Amino acid sequence: MTISVDKLTEPAVRAFVGALNSGDRDTFRTTLAPGATMSDDGNDRDIDEWTGREVFDSRGHMEVESQSADGLSLVACYRNDTWGEMRTSWRFSVEGGRVARFETGQA
Supply the pLDDT for residue 26.
97
Tell me which residues of the chain have a pLDDT lower than 50: none
Q: What pLDDT does residue 1 have?
A: 83
Strand-pairing partners, residue 95, are 98
The pLDDT tens digits for 41-63 are 999 999 999 999 999 999 999 99
- How far is it, in rounded angstroms, from Cα 11 to Cα 53? 25
Asked if 85 and 106 count as a contact pair (C-beta separation under 8 A), the reply is: no
If you count DSSP H runs as helices and E runs as strands, how many of each does the chain have, helices first? 3, 6
